[in-house]
Structure 1
Amino acid sequence: MNTIFRVQEYKALAYRLLLAYVFYFIVRVLFLTYNYSLLDVTSVSEFFSLYYHGLAFDTTAILYVNLLFIFFSVIPVVINTRKGYQKFLMWLYFITNLIAYATNFIDFIYYKYIYSRTTIAVIDVVKNENNKGSMFFRFMLSYWHVFTLFIVLAFLWIFLYKRVKVQETEKPNNLVKYFLTSAAAFAVIGLMIVGGIRGDFKYSTRPINIIDANRHVTKVQHGDVVLNTPFAIIRTIGKTSFKKVHFVDEQVVVDNFQPIKHYTNHPKTTPNIVLIITESMGREYWGCLNKGKNIPGYEGYTPFLDSLAQHSLIFDNSYANGSKSIHGMSSVLAGIPSFKDAFTSSPYPKQKIQSLVSTLKEMGYDTSFYHGAPNGSMGFLGFGNILGFDHYYGKTEYNNDADFDGSWGIWDEPFMQFMKSTFDEKKQPFFGTIFTVSSHEPYVVPEKYKGKFPKGKVPMNQVVGYTDYAFKKFFEAASKTDWYKNTIFIITSDHSNQIAYDEYRKVVNRHATPLLIFKPDGSMKGVNHELSQQIDIYPTVLDMIGYDKPFMSWGRSLVGGDKIKPYAISYYGNQYMFQQGNYICAFDGRDVVGFYDINDKGLEHNLISKKNKEMEQVEIACKAFLQDYFERIIDKKLYSK
């Protein structure tokens, strides 16, 4: 055997890296299988086309993960072929590869909730949880099949790895030639690694990034088939999308959004305000918000909220401005949406922020935030402190673990009653925000209510029924208090959850959320079909109560004849989705990649080749929003001067 040219070692290295490609192919098939209804891959040929484009992303991830393994495999240290050294290489190979590989399995389940590949930002979601161990164990039980698949594939990978062994060789006689040939091979392999990590060998081309996954697809969700999760995580480590851009003149921003607002539509009043952000309870589940949508076989699961809607102003064309719970908090309370990266986990949340909390405190309101989870969960306590809430009520303040659901926090029914009891003791006016917890995975209800609520078409439907019942009990109790008639109630959600109907599998509708405004005196009723979004809640409340000072907001009042044209913006599949007028504009941060009819929520028919004047105006508005969004956040101008 020729020990000078190390052929067997290079063959073994190639085989071991090839195995990684094989198992990345398998996990891509499994990812598609678990999320088939969302990814809309309609043929085998379409899948292999996406897989072909995904090879570049697999290459980058595999090479990043295996950098140390490759380095130690090819360095000329003479002892490379010894059994001990090869055993070290195997351990290094599988420790790094299996950790990275496991992240793909997260998205078998998590993709259904965030509609994108997991990035480094997921750490910001879980780092504030103090029950990580119990959560992990529960996920293992709930999704045992995913863990089983991972273990089976890991053992298969190890078995195949061992099928090709490097035979131990004697020390080469010609050490000079050995080192020279090894050095040459090292240089060539290094060059190939650089090209593989970058995505090509062109010096003028930037390394491929997440956004490049959508370059070769016609459906925005196909970008997530092209990607793999290790790539998405690696490419977002230490990265932020918060960078200033300049697309339009400042006057264009003012004309489209008037970021500094000053309403004079209503007289100044100080009613109590109760704002309820309902965990995961998207628009799909509300019967009252789906009338006339002609969804085959539709059933709703909110009988109480549907009855309340008959005496409320409801918005059946409303959208979330983010995909995670903390996104909902910043969007609803401060009018600050989150796109590729959450504002709250960026370098910029610790600044002066004008919000519902700050403006209502100016008016003498007592301000409180309620969340039945362990204090600090989801990052709510930290962001709540930045906003300046007077009081935070969590699981600690509730102080009765008998009502703990075993997973997330206190069951909604008793915790909403706890909130009501604190209101009873407060001096009016007060502003209370609650973020509920029960309408969420693992989709269970209290033991005493088992069988009470319809199972529905997906597990989420049962817990929606429970939370709707918690609303009923809360309003029954609140209606008997002296503060009830002087209160405005606003109900929305942070994002959606499990999907049962094709209408809500459509890309844009995956961000569809409810919005209801109820005044006990019956002065606000009806159905508003215009576009609305979470960031509209903040200016709407201030307009309703006649706040008489300027304030900063990108949203618009939904009750006062705001001159801003209705719009909604969200982020999906590495693209901004800007809805306005008759069109949806898909913008990747650099270029507009699509225009769609406003009713084409599935983004099936790209009209970019038929671009007209209105499309141009929608494009300008989208760019103007993003320009002002990044500038104000980075320059710390989230308030009126």
Structure 2
Amino acid sequence: MRKILIWFLKTFLFWTLVFQIGRLVFSLYEWPQTSAYGITTIMKSFYHGIHQDFSASGYITMLNGLFLWVILILGMKRNRIFFKVLNSFLMVVVTIVTVVDSELYRNWGVHMDATPLLFLKTPKDALASTTLFQMFFILVIMICMFISIFWIYRKLFKTDIVYVKRKKSQRYSMIVSVLLVCAVMIIPIRGGFGIAPMNTGTVYFSKDLYPNHLAVNSSWNFLYSVSKMNKFAKPYNFMPNEKAKAIREDIFRKSAPRHVVLKEGQKPNVLLILMESFTGKMVGALGYKEYTPNLTRISKEGVLFNHIYSTGDRSDRGIVGVISGYPSEPTASIMKYPEKSQKLPFVTKVLKDEGYSADYYYGGDTDFANMHSYLTNAGFDRVIDMTYFDPKDYNSKWGVHDGIMLDYFLKDINKAAEDPSKPFFKMLFTLSSHEPFEVPMETVISGNSEQNKFLNSVTYSDRCLGKFYDEAKKQPWFKNTLIVFVADHGHRLPYNTKANDPKKYHIPLILAGGLVKQDSIVTKCGSNTDVPATILGQLGLPNNEFNYSKDLMDPNSSSFGYFVYNGGVGACVDSSKIVFDLNTQKVSYKENYDQKNLEKIQAVLQSAWNTFLGNEE
């Protein structure tokens, strides 16, 4: 048994070393970029990247272990050659992926995803841009890397893992033990015991892209991309791509930026508060039963948009929507693909070009759903998450509750405002109204149903937001600050709204703060993807690069609120609401139906999907 445990440990450590060698090969291949950073930064890339190496090593060690389990059952004594062949094959695969990824990164600036597999049907075209010298150079590096790691393997694994047939009890004990060790590999595979499983953004640590990309494990990233390939291989074809793009451009047409709701003055500060699961179905100001009196009160002091829809039904979609103005996809989240999301526009970068600082606040784990890598690509100066707080403040399964985070947020704003010459953009994402809906507040709505717990959590968050806003109004910086309140997505609760019901995606959007001239209500249809263009338009800044976002305060912008879910797409277009089922290819919901409006919905989906695939801007 001891010999088997040592074999497991050696296998895990060997493959971890292989991936570190692969990172070294990558860093040398990209030497012009690597040499631009100090040794400390490069070592940090290796340090942070080892966490993903552990994950990849866990997969391979588990695979070896499962084969060992079979060998023990069969009672095979001579097994060294078998494992030598198995691991040699895996070494060849890892070597090819590492070196090819290095070459593609040199040209593309992003790690290799599943895209190259799409060219296997036309290998001649795929190799057309590669010279014989380049192919020879790549081959030499592959051979050198393989020989190096194979030599290490031979030094470490010189003997068989011998199974000596003794008592049945000993045999069964060894078989069970091997399975248990294989099960333990789930820990490094997931990246530890946290809520968020291993993802590309887990290893991101720098404000610059290259050190983060160096930390990424090429093999892990490639296989992760391949595992998701079937989710976005098939494009949507409702019409010619040129027509779809033309319709999309007409919907999101731009006018010259104008100050509509803001008072004249110096560069205003901007606060963007993204509210977790704040469905419009609980906001009295939107015509529903009131569960958010503070939000309704704030809306009466600012501009309320009462026909806004969330682009999707998950937080990762909502975050991308309000920062990049990019709509959701039915079966994929662009946030989970850093090589794609880094090509999006970011409201943060536009503001930073104007001299703004940019900070992000979230009481939970920013590694969840690749959030951290996206925020890094967005150019935030700081990302403040649960790691900034004492563990005693972790009074939620997800992290720090809204009351604690909003108090911290207010203090940080006051500190930033001490230098009035430096405008700031700060974004806070609330947390407490997320499942399991446990909040540090007395029960307001009695009952243990999921709906009542949800409404209690929303009531708590609403109180925290109300307290924050009241305290903010007392601060000197308030008079020169725009505060945007918007939900990340809607929710099936309350009332268990069906996926194809537009009410599920109906959300609040409010412009408030000392810069708002007067209270008003905007009835135009829109989405939370319109937030970037609206903010920039009202600051008098260009928003032309946001192809799926429009300034809701622009009288010339269209009335179009787009949303998707897994299996369907819909929108509020002028006075009509339409939902199209992508499985049945039929309209599943209609209100004041208009065929032209359905065509607009399909055109935006097709165009957005082409953007996701990299076929258009």
Paired position in structure 2 for 1:337:
327
**Amino acid in structure 2 at the alignment position of 1:481:** Q
Counting matched residue pairs gives 398
Instruction: Please show how residues 59-208 of structure 1 align to structure 2 within 5 Å.
Output: 131-132=194-195
Structure 2 match to 1:611 = none
Residues of 2 paired with 1:592 and 1:586: CA distance?
A: 11
1:262 positional shift: 5.5
Task: Check conservation: 1:556, 1:562, Cα contact below 8 A.
Answer: no
Which of 272, 294, 298 is the equivalent residue of 1:275? 272
What is the identity, as a one-letter code, of the residue corresponding to 1:450? E
Which consecutive unaligned segments of at least 5 residues does structure 2 have? 1-69, 71-167, 198-225
SS at match of 1:538: helix
Other-structure match for 1:633: 612
2:316 is the alignment partner of 1:326: yes
In 2, Cα distance between equivalents of 1:128 and 1:290: 45
Secondary structure in 2 matching 1:483: helix
Q: Is the 8 A contact 1:269 1:546 kept in 2?
A: no
Q: 1:318 to 1:455 in 2, by over 3 A?
A: farther
**Aligned mates of 1:592, 1:386 — CA distance in 2:** 36
Does residue 535 of the first structure (1) align with residue 529 of the second (2)?
A: yes
**Which of 372, 379, 385 is 1:381 aligned to?**
372
**Residues 119-164 of structure 1: CA distance to partner in whole angstroms, max 9, x if unpaired?**
xxxx9xx968952399xxxxxxxxxxxxxxxxxxxxxxxxxxxxxx
What displacement does 1:569 show?
A: 2.2
Structure 2 residue identity aligned to 1:331 = G
Given that 1:375 and 1:381 are in contact with CA atoms closer than 8 Å, whether structure 2 keeps it comes out as yes
Which residue of structure 2 lines up, in the alignment, with residue 440 of structure 1?
434
Report the alpha carbon displacement of residue 413 of structure 1 after superposing the two structures with TM: 0.9
C-alpha distance in structure 1 between counterparts of 2:505 and 2:606, whole Å: 23
Q: Is the alpha carbon distance of 1:130 and 1:356 closer, same or farther for their aligned partners in structure 2, counting shifts above 3 Å? A: farther
- Does residue 485 of structure 1 match 2:479? yes
Counterparts of 2:361 and 2:398 in 1: how far apart (Å)? 14
- State the 1:438 CA deviation: 0.7
Equivalent residue number for residue 303 of structure 1: 293
The aligned counterpart of 1:286 is 283
**Which runs of structure 2 are paired with 1:356-435 in the superposition (5 Å)?**
356-397=347-388, 399-426=389-416, 427=419, 428-435=422-429
The aligned runs of 1:428-577 (5 Å cut-off) are 428-446=422-440, 449-451=441-443, 453-455=444-446, 458-497=452-491, 499-501=493-495, 507-548=501-542, 550-563=544-557, 565-572=558-565, 574-577=567-570
Q: Contact (CA 8 Å) 1:583, 1:595: kept in 2 or not?
A: no
How big is each residue's C-alpha offset from its partner over 1:339-392, in whole Å with a ceiling of 9 and x where there is no partner? 221111247435332121111111111011101113423432121011111111
Contact 1:321–1:571 (8 Å) recurs in 2: yes
Q: Secondary structure at the match of 1:301?
A: coil
TM superposition shift of 1:454: 3.6
Q: Residues 636 and 545 from structure 1, CA distance in 2 versus in 1: closer, same or farther, beyond 3 angstroms? A: farther
Distance 1:598 1:271, change over 3 A: farther
Kindly indicate whether the alpha-carbon contact (under 8 Å) linking 2:437 and 2:456 is maintained by their aligned counterparts in 1.
yes
Contact persistence 2:309–2:561 (CA under 8 A)? yes
Distance (Å, rounded) in 1 between the aligned partners of 2:358 and 2:385: 14
Give 1:536 shift. 0.9
Residue type at the aligned position of 2:612:
I
Deviation at residue 581 of structure 1 after TM alignment? 3.4
Partner residue, 1:618:
597
Tell me which of 239, 247, 250 is aligned to 2:230. 239
- C-alpha separation in 1, matches of 2:467 and 2:354: 30
Equivalent residue for 1:253, pick from 245, 249, 262: 245
Q: Which moved more, 1:422-431 or 1:341-350?
A: 341-350
Instruction: Report the residue type matching 2:567 in the other structure.
Output: N
Inter-partner Cα distance in structure 1 for 2:287 and 2:499: 15
- Matches of 2:294 and 2:355 in 1, distance apart? 33
Post-superposition offset of 1:252: 5.5
Moved more, 481-490 or 622-631: 622-631
8 Å contact from structure 2 (residues 313, 489) kept in 1: yes
8 Å Cα contact 2:481/2:515 also seen in 1: no
> Equivalents in 1 of 2:343, 2:229: separation in Å?
24
Q: Which residue number in structure 1 is paired with residue 574 of structure 2?
A: 581
Is the alpha carbon distance of 1:577 and 1:408 closer, same or farther for their aligned partners in structure 2, counting shifts above 3 Å? same
Q: State how far apart, in whole Å, the 2-side matches of 1:561 and 1:130 are.
A: 51
- Deviations, residues 477-514 of structure 1 (Å, cap 9, x unaligned): 22222211111111111223452337778622212221
Q: Distance in 2 between matches of 1:543 and 1:132?
A: 38
Structure 1 residues 334-343 or 536-545, which shifts more? 334-343
Of 425-434 and 325-334, deviating more is 425-434
**Amino acid of the structure 2 residue aligned with 1:318:** I
Q: Are the aligned partners of 1:282 and 1:497 in contact in 2 as well (CA < 8 Å)? A: yes
How far apart in 2 are the matches of 1:127 and 1:516? 39
Give the Cα separation in 2 of the matches to 1:501 and 1:369: 33
Q: Give the superposition deviation at 1:260.
A: 7.2
What SS class does the counterpart of residue 552 from structure 1 fall into? Answer: coil
Q: Deviation per CA, 1:247-296: give whole Å up to 9, x if none.
A: 236366335434574533338962111111111121112122225xxxxx
**How many Å separate the matches in 2 of 1:412 and 1:324?**
19
Counting aligned pairs with the same residue, the percent is 22
- Deviation, 1:468, is 0.9
What is the TM-score with the length of structure 1 in the denominator? 0.56
Equivalents in 2 of 1:323, 1:503: separation in Å? Answer: 12
Task: For 1:133 and 1:572, locate their aligned partners in 2 and report how far apart those are by CA, in whole Å.
Answer: 22
CA distance in 2, matches of 1:277, 1:537: 11
Task: Please give the per-residue CA displacement for 1:59-85, whole angstroms capped at 9, x wherever unaligned.
Answer: xxxxxxxxxxxxx9xxxxxxxxxxx9x
Q: Could you tell me how far apart the structure 1 residues matched to 2:310 and 2:567 are?
A: 16
TM-score, normalised to structure 2's length?
0.58
The one-letter code of the counterpart of 2:402 is D
C-alpha contact 1:128 1:378 (8 A) present in aligned 2: no
Q: Is 2:351 the partner of 1:351?
A: no
8 Å Cα contact 2:491-2:505 kept in structure 1: no
Counterpart Cα distance in 1 of 2:454 and 2:472: 27
Whether contact under 8 Å (2:236, 2:609) holds in the other structure is yes
- Aligned partners of 1:592, 1:585: CA distance in 2, in Å? 13
Counterpart position of 1:593 = 586
- How many Å apart are 1:237 and its aligned residue? 5.3
Note the C-alpha offset of 1:407: 0.6
